[in-house]
Structure 1
Amino acid sequence: MPVPLFESSFLQETLQASEVSSRSVTLGNGVQMSLLKKGVLKISPPSEAKPSKHMVISSAVHGNETAPIEMVDDLASQIANGSIVPKHHLLLIIAHPNAILAEERFVQTNLNRLFGDAAYPESQELALAVSLKEQVTHFWQDVPMASRWHLDMHCSIRASKHYTFAISPQSTYPTRRKEFIDFMQQAGIEAVLLSEEPSSTFSWFSSSKFGAQAATLELGQVAKFGHNDMDKLAQFRKVFWELVESVESVESSTSGDMITYQVDSSIYRENLDFEFYFDKALPNFSRFSEGETLGKDGDKVLTMPVEQGGVVFPNPNVELKQRAALIVKPCATRYVDNQLTVLD
């Protein structure tokens, strides 16, 4: 019998250990599990398998978004005990253990704003971002672009008119291929936001730098460990597990199509005197009439710039120069050369 990689679990090891020594174990079924560093676990399928993907599966980029953390930890445990035999190479990430322990989104600054090319101030989160970028770069070295997938799993701060939704980041590469969109649809993702604005998120890094099929997945609302409504995520979990265990593509469903939105613009906070006028509990995707007042940024009045416009991720308390909200609008799409494309 191989020596277990963890005394308890991937999550407990990540939270309890001050330092982690890299180590590997090969299971009886041929799966290799390698703890590369604290919170980063590489898993390779049995040698006889024919893997078609190298998938990054990340959680805890924000420490209080616990449902994805529980899901990643459960996946690691089920692979370790042989209940799941992966057919793909996986890089499982629990990104920010200190924020998890603090039960906060971050400790010093928002980690999911540090994956761009800017010169960011030194912080605990910047060190994590640099390390994660190095791990992903090494994981995808010499891997065909079509094999690169990244599911960056989050939870929304506030309630949402779509319990699950995804943000497909901007990229010059074809990162909205039908197989990837079909997976999200089958997994019960209710809506997808198509962004054409360069960003600095983890999924944007993967899509823009590596051409990965990547998305930020919002899976419910923030809750403490053990208090997530996992029944509402049962469809996602089921199809996610099937993705890990099969080399066959997930077939699209003829019902329950996702709603597609185009990101029209972003609101960035420029002044300390910044506020939204709507209720703090307003759900994501709430609609406003074109020209309707949303709030203020210093002396500037913020208004809805488009018809049928919705507000997503409104947060008046972000740091200066950071995004305080997304403005989205419904859009029609079709596939062109196997790539989801917005109709003009």
Structure 2
Amino acid sequence: MPAPLFESSFLQDTLKPSATSPRSITLSNGVQMSLLQKGVLKISPPADAKQAKHMVISSAVHGNETAPIEMVDDLASQIASESIVPQHHLLLIIAHPKAILAEERFVETNLNRLFGDADYPQSEELALAVSLKEQVTQFWQDVPMASRWHLDMHCSIRASKHYTFAISPQSAYPTRQKEFIDFMQNAGIEAVLLSEEPSSTFSWFSSSKFGAQAATLELGQVAKFGHNDMSKLAQFHKAFLELVQSIESSTATDMITYQVDSSIYRENMDFEFYFDKALPNFSRFAEGEELGKDGDKALTMPVEQGGVVFPNPNVELKQRAALIVKPCATRYVDNQLTVID
């Protein structure tokens, strides 16, 4: 019997200060597990797996968003103990160990704003972003585009009118295929935001550069380890494990679709929102209603039925301080979820 891959668990080994030496094992069921670097675990299904996808499943891009970390760690443990047998190639990621230990979103700057093509200043997070981009690129090398999936799992800072929701990033590729949208519905994702604005997030990197079926998944609100209400994520967790095992699910729920109308970027140090700091995501404002100010510029709601998502007046200069969204109707065109104008 081979030696266990982990001394404690995927998460606990990732959080240890010592360096991680790459190592691999083959389980008795034929599953191969390879620890590529600290926080990056590659899993290959048994040789007889049919129509296997190559799925990136990432967590801890923000270190204090613990529910996704717990789910990724649980998945690694269940596979290592042979409790479940994955039918897809997996790249499991616990992205930011130092931020996890600090119980903060980041150490120097927001990691989820560093996956674009810009020339970013050197930082702890930039080194992580470069490393993760390299791992994903290698994982998807010579893999058909249709087989590339990426679930980048997060938690919202604030409460939300939708407990779970997803952001489908902009891409020139058909990255909103029915199978992927069906998974989100099966998983109880309450709403999906369709963005057509280039970004610099991890899921945008995967969708725009590799044509992956990719989304940023917001799973509840930030909480400390052991304090997440996992009962509210039970449908997602069930569908997540079924996806990995290629078990068909029939628990689809209705999902509201929003179109991202625009983004608010912070341009000045004198920046604020006028609404309550605890205002839930997706709260609506009348068209023309004042939202705040950026220097001498008034920030107003530009659309009817407009809602505000991810408002954060404390972001760094030039970074996104909020999304403006509006409900939209959709249909499938050539198997791709498409907004009806």
Name the TM tier (shorter chain): over 0.9
Q: Which amino acid aligns with 2:14?
A: T
CA-to-partner distance for each residue in 1:92-118, whole Å, 9 max, x for gaps? 000000000000000000000000000
Tell me the C-alpha RMSD between the 2 structures: 0.9
2: CA distance, partners of 1:9 / 1:129:
24
- The partner residue of 1:317 within 305, 314, 317 is 314
Alignment of 1:236-275 (within 5 A): 236-246=236-246, 250=249, 253=252, 256-275=253-272
1: CA distance, partners of 2:108 / 2:142:
35
Maintained 8 Å contact 1:263/1:327? yes
In the other structure, the counterpart of 2:209 is: 209
Alignment of 1:22-61 (within 5 A): 22-61=22-61
1: CA distance, partners of 2:250 / 2:257:
19
Is 1:144 the equivalent of 2:139?
A: no
Which deviates more from structure 2 when the two are superposed, residues 292-301 or residues 45-54? Answer: 45-54
In the other structure, the counterpart of 1:73 is: 73
- The partner residue of 1:334 within 331, 336, 341 is 331
Is 1:343 the equivalent of 2:327?
A: no
Maintained 8 Å contact 2:63/2:99? yes
Maintained 8 Å contact 1:311/1:328? yes
Is 1:297 the equivalent of 2:294?
A: yes
1: CA distance, partners of 2:6 / 2:51:
25
CA-to-partner distance for each residue in 1:168-218, whole Å, 9 max, x for gaps? 000000000000000000100000000000000000000000000000000
Secondary structure of residue in 1 paired with 2:227: coil
Q: Which amino acid aligns with 1:219?
A: L
Maintained 8 Å contact 2:242/2:248? no
2: CA distance, partners of 1:63 / 1:152:
13
CA-to-partner distance for each residue in 1:256-285, whole Å, 9 max, x for gaps? 310000000000000000000000000000
Q: Which amino acid aligns with 2:291?
A: L
1: CA distance, partners of 2:228 / 2:51:
32
2: CA distance, partners of 1:3 / 1:314:
47
1: CA distance, partners of 2:3 / 2:267:
54
Maintained 8 Å contact 1:308/1:330? yes
User: Any stretches of 5+ residues in structure 2 without a counterpart?
Assistant: none
Deviation at 1:250, TM superposition (A): 5.0
Maintained 8 Å contact 1:179/1:249? no
**Length-normalised TM-score, structure 2:** 0.99
Q: Which amino acid aligns with 2:263?
A: S
Alignment of 1:120-269 (within 5 A): 120-246=120-246, 250=249, 253=252, 256-269=253-266
Deviation at 1:251, TM superposition (A): 5.7
Secondary structure of residue in 2 paired with 1:58: strand
Deviation at 1:2, TM superposition (A): 2.0
Maintained 8 Å contact 1:183/1:251? no
Q: Which amino acid aligns with 2:306?
A: G
2: CA distance, partners of 1:286 / 1:249:
35
Maintained 8 Å contact 1:183/1:252? no
CA-to-partner distance for each residue in 1:49-73, whole Å, 9 max, x for gaps? 2242000000000000000000000
2: CA distance, partners of 1:307 / 1:176:
26
CA-to-partner distance for each residue in 1:232-263, whole Å, 9 max, x for gaps? 000000011000001x665673xx31000000
In the other structure, the counterpart of 2:108 is: 108
Maintained 8 Å contact 2:6/2:13? yes
Maintained 8 Å contact 2:58/2:153? yes
Maintained 8 Å contact 1:114/1:201? yes
CA-to-partner distance for each residue in 1:318-344, whole Å, 9 max, x for gaps? 000000000000000000000000000
**Length-normalised TM-score, structure 1:** 0.98
Maintained 8 Å contact 1:60/1:100? yes
1: CA distance, partners of 2:51 / 2:130:
28
In the other structure, the counterpart of 1:94 is: 94
Moved >4 Å (runs of 4+): 248-252
Q: Which amino acid aligns with 1:86?
A: P
CA-to-partner distance for each residue in 1:281-335, whole Å, 9 max, x for gaps? 0000000000000000000000000000000000000000000000000000000
Q: Which amino acid aligns with 1:185?
A: Q
Secondary structure of residue in 2 paired with 1:216: strand
Secondary structure of residue in 2 paired with 1:55: strand
* Aligned length in residues: 341
2: CA distance, partners of 1:293 / 1:64:
31
Deviation at 1:3, TM superposition (A): 1.1
Secondary structure of residue in 1 paired with 2:284: strand
1: CA distance, partners of 2:330 / 2:250:
19
